[in-house]
Structures are given as structure tokens and as C-alpha cells.
Amino acid sequence: MAGPNVPGDRVEALRKAFSALGRDAEFRADAKKIGLDDLSPAGEIDEFLKLAASTPPDVVRRLTDILSTQAR
């Protein structure tokens, strides 16, 4: 992840590196061992983060309350 004011060329370099990592056989084997066998493409992650960041604070508080109650 990177902040909102990161220059575009750096964002693109990070995306390329993330994509290359996702194609690395040794990394994929290690990720699968710890249950990370579904590596989403960088674009999908970007969209998820935008959605998460736009969630209204009252919704986040309510969800936090619900999840913390279930954890007890």
C-alpha cells in the first residue's frame, strides 16, 4: 500500500513488483502454506481499498461493535 500522493510512476513500479511476486513459484508455495493461496491482482486490491476508505465512519463503528461482540 501507498499513500494517496505517491507519484504515478512509483505506483506503477509497485504494481509491477506485486504482480511479479504473485507469479513467483517459491513465494506462491510459501503463501499457500500459510493460507494465502488467493492472491488478487493489484487493480482489484486498489478497488477494494477505495471502497473500504469510502465507508462512512458510522458504518465502520457499527461493524466494529458487531464483530467485537461476536469475539467474546
Q: How many domains does the chain have?
A: 2
Say yes or no: 3 and 35 in one domain.
Answer: yes
pLDDT (mean) for 34-53: 77
- Of residues 51, 46, 54, 52, the one with CA closest to residue 2: 46
For residues 46 and 14, give the distance between their C-alpha atoms in angstroms, rounded to a whole number.
12
Percentage above 90 pLDDT, the chain? 21
Enclosing domain of residue 69? 40-72
pLDDT tens column, 11-29: 889 888 888 888 889 988 9
Say yes or no: 8 and 23 in one domain.
Answer: yes
Name the 3-class secondary structure at 32. Answer: helix
Q: What sign has the CA pseudo-torsion 20, 39, 36, 63?
A: positive
Say yes or no: 29 and 46 in one domain.
Answer: no
For residues 72 and 67, give the distance between their C-alpha atoms in angstroms, rounded to a whole number.
9
Say yes or no: 29 and 48 in one domain.
Answer: no
Say yes or no: 59 and 48 in one domain.
Answer: yes
